[in-house]
Structure 1
Amino acid sequence: MRLPVAYLKTFQGPATGVICERERMDKFGRPFLGATVKPKLGLSGKNYGRVVYEGLKGGLDFLKDDENINSQPFMRWKERFLYSMEGVNRAIAAAGETKGHYLNVTAATMEQMYERAEFAKQLGTIIVMIDLVIGYTAIQSMAIWARKNDMILHLHRAGNSTYSRQKIHGMNFRVICKWMRMAGVDHIHAGTVVGKLEGDPLMIRGFYNTLLLPYLEINLPQGIFFEQDWASLRKVTPVASGGIHCGQMHQLLDYLGDDVVLQFGGGTIGHPDGIQAGATANRVALESIVIARNEGRDYVTEGPQILQDAAKTCGPLQTALDLWKDISFNYTSTDTADFVETPTANV
């Protein structure tokens, strides 16, 4: 799709955008770090809040509420919000850094979503979360609310694969990226290249460029078939999550760059020494690779050795590297660019 500038100007675009988010979070020169928590696994509200606290105190910037049906008898949404924000505030006090938890306001009606979002605002959160399944009208309504209330808006792409994973049906995820940038979300899950929610590296780069660049050039290998002037709409921060771990940090930084949230779910919570240790392992791994890159080293080739050197003074990182080693998910990507290069005739 190519969208005319006159049409784009009828949309507000991302409520906050990458640049304002970095200023609000006071995080520069590196990707954001996150983790995913699944309430449906049976956590009580209090135990959920403990997970949030430990992850943030260990060095993460964000934690994510990975749930669509997010108010169940064993943990109602309001209870989870209260305990989560207690964990956020305690972690901020302990670490001296701005941190956040995506309070999931997804619900059955707009009235319920506004109620949850207003309560989240009263509790002092900097970010709320919605799921793609609420629909495009509801997403735009929440984006307008987020801009009015100085809130970062995280979008989980739950349900997209029902219509974006086949070449003969539905639509490409790149189109969803364009629509969501127009609709006004600040974050969207956009693939990892490595990990469980993998993707062809060129196609993933096409998704990221669609979300981040001010102007898109035609790039057939990345699946970008039309140029696109984004008419000064703000950037959307891509989120990489699904089966990634700290041993892949050099690859993630190489493939995805700085403007991304690296979200390790099992790669944080599955750490043998606990959630806080898992978060610390990820933070140390990230900062060691970023420092090596900034020093001009070949951090992609030297990545495993850089991580091993960092682990000598960081027990949690050593444990994580020993546990996950070279674990990877080697799927054949279902999304590749279908184009044929034609020879240029000599004129």
Structure 2
Amino acid sequence: MPGITYEDFLDLDYEPASSDLVCTFTVDPASDMDVEAAASRVASESSNGTWAELQVEGSITDLSATAFSIDGNTIRVAYPDELFEPGNMPQVLSCIAGNIMGMKAVDRIRLEDCEWPETLTTSFPGPQFGTSVRNDIFDAGDRPITATVPKPKVGLSTDQHVQVGYDAWTGGIDLLKDDENLTDQAFNPYQDRLTESLAARDDAQDETGEKKSYLVNVTADTNAMLDRVDAAAEQGCEYVMVDVVTTGWAAVQAVRERCERHGLAIHAHRAMHAAFDRVPDHGVSMRVIAQITRLCGADQLHTGTADLGKLANEDTVGINEWLYSDRHGMNDVLPMASGGLHPGLVPELVKRCGTNIGIQAGGGVHGHPDGTHAGAKALRQAIDATVEGTDLATYAEDHPELATAMEKWGTETPR
């Protein structure tokens, strides 16, 4: 009886079926391996092979992954659809980004991209709303929506947090957002912050005549998150925020199901993503993390600043294009630009990323010399000027808040 060996997982003549999940990896083989040997081991370990030659009665090779393309250190592996449990993202990732990340056969391996087939894609719910939130909730027209996070990130009392939110909303910000590490601490409890912030939101809406909302952070264990989603809905909030990587994809899927019951949008914060994607030759790319986030159902996702902010270099534009693209009828995702932004960077950001985005500034609002309200006005003025095609320096002549921000920060990129 013929055995199953690593060589059975390499076939450079294989043509992937339309139902296959195709994954692109960059590999750095171990010193005693060539790329072909490493590719066969990636396909084997991530599907139904192992290190020993197997004697199996009957055929299971129709469930084997196949390494079918090698281009330098880039390999492509096709996975038959039957390997995956529909709608189970943890199981999918246990296959395509599981044990292979620690194999001795490779010194480095990075999951760069995935081509998701229709059957697997449509087993996930995707976003409820996606980019439609810009107009369905905010009537933003042609401009990006705006968000800010009260600073300092943690340590503000509930009263202080609410006041910062009110000042930002009345200055022209659309969304107040909790930071990723603010949940239900004693200095600013979740329920108090939710209730009082939304009351201030209502006052800000009355004052400005504009719709406002709040990205309240529900991140916790799954049961607590679901309770917090329910509380947000009961208080009339349109959103919840989830730290999707630290929470875990199964928990995100549970939140997505509960949010659909209430008609709430999900804002995805990507805290911890760099643990997987910052090293350029190992881990999982932000592109793949974004894909997973969309399939699991987030409506908004932080995707970077196209090299304009304080965070490391990323393919923000390419990721955004994937989030916008048609994927078997699934709703799209609104990319959020964040991390070191201020009014002077808005024109270049819009030039690189377009207007179908959200722009979030923390220090670039609250660090304004005249305070949060003026900082919010300056950011909104920069966006309004950019959308109408007016140079910021010219617009600042009649808008003192923008003039002060430009004097302080200019167009410099922070570190």
If the TM-score is normalised by the length of the shorter chain, which range does it land in? 0.7 to 0.9
Q: How many Å separate the matches in 1 of 2:313 and 2:318?
A: 11
2:311 corresponds in structure 1 to 197
Higher relative contact order (Cα pairs below 8 Å, separated by 6+ residues): 1
Q: How does 1:148-227 map to 2 (within 5 A)?
A: 148-193=261-306, 194-200=308-314, 203-214=315-326
Over aligned residue pairs, what C-alpha RMSD do you find? 1.5
Matches within 5 A, 1:1-347: 1-38=114-151, 40-107=153-220, 109-132=221-244, 133-193=246-306, 194-200=308-314, 203-214=315-326, 230-292=327-389, 306-329=391-414
- Partner of 2:394: helix, strand, or coil? helix
Query: Which amino acid in structure 1 is aligned with residue 311 of structure 2?
Result: L
Which structure is larger by alpha-carbon Rg, 1 or 2? Answer: 2
TM-score, normalisation: structure 1: 0.83
Aligned residue-pair number: 300
Residue 104 of structure 1 aligns to a residue whose secondary structure is coil
Question: Do the aligned partners of 1:21 and 1:152 also contact (CA within 8 Å) in 2?
Answer: no
Return the alpha-carbon distance in structure 1 between the equivalents of residues 280 and 385 of structure 2. Answer: 39
Confirm or deny: 8 A CA contact 1:39 1:70 kept in the other structure.
Answer: no
Q: Which runs of 5+ in 1 are unaligned?
A: 215-229, 293-298, 300-305, 331-347
Conservation of the 8 A alpha-carbon contact between 1:105 and 1:116: yes
- 1:38 deviation in Å? 4.5
Question: Structure 1 residues 78 and 156 mapped into 2: Cα distance closer, same or farther (>3 Å)?
Answer: same
Q: CA deviation at 1:20?
A: 4.9
SS at match of 1:249: helix
Cα distance between partner residues in 1 of 2:303 and 2:145: 15
Shift of 1:198: 4.6
Q: Distance in 1 between matches of 2:376 and 2:175?
A: 11
The structure richer in helix per residue is: 1
Instruction: State the identity %.
Output: 33
Shift, 1:206, TM fit? 1.0
CA 20–191 in structure 1, closer or farther in 2 if over 3 Å, else same: closer
Aligned equivalents of 1:16, 1:147: Cα separation in 2: 10
**Alpha-carbon separation, structure 2, partners of 1:40 and 1:122:** 26
Aligned partners of 2:154 and 2:181 also within 8 Å: no
- What stretches of structure 2 of length at least 5 have no aligned partner? 1-113
Instruction: Indicate if the aligned counterparts of 1:39 and 1:48 stay in contact, CA closer than 8 A.
Output: no
Measure how far apart 1:327 and its partner are: 2.3
Query: Which SS does the other structure have where 1:60 is aligned?
Result: coil
Structure 1 pair 165/178, CA: closer, same or farther in 2 (3 Å)? same
Give the C-alpha shift of residue 39 in structure 1: 6.2
TM-score (norm 2): 0.70
Stretches of 4+ aligned residues off by more than 4 angstroms: none
1: CA distance between counterparts of 2:127 and 2:356? 15
Q: Is the 8 A contact 1:16 1:150 kept in 2?
A: no
Q: Secondary structure at the match of 1:239?
A: strand
> Could you tell me how far apart the structure 2 residues matched to 1:261 and 1:20 are?
10
Deviation at 1:126, TM superposition (A): 0.9
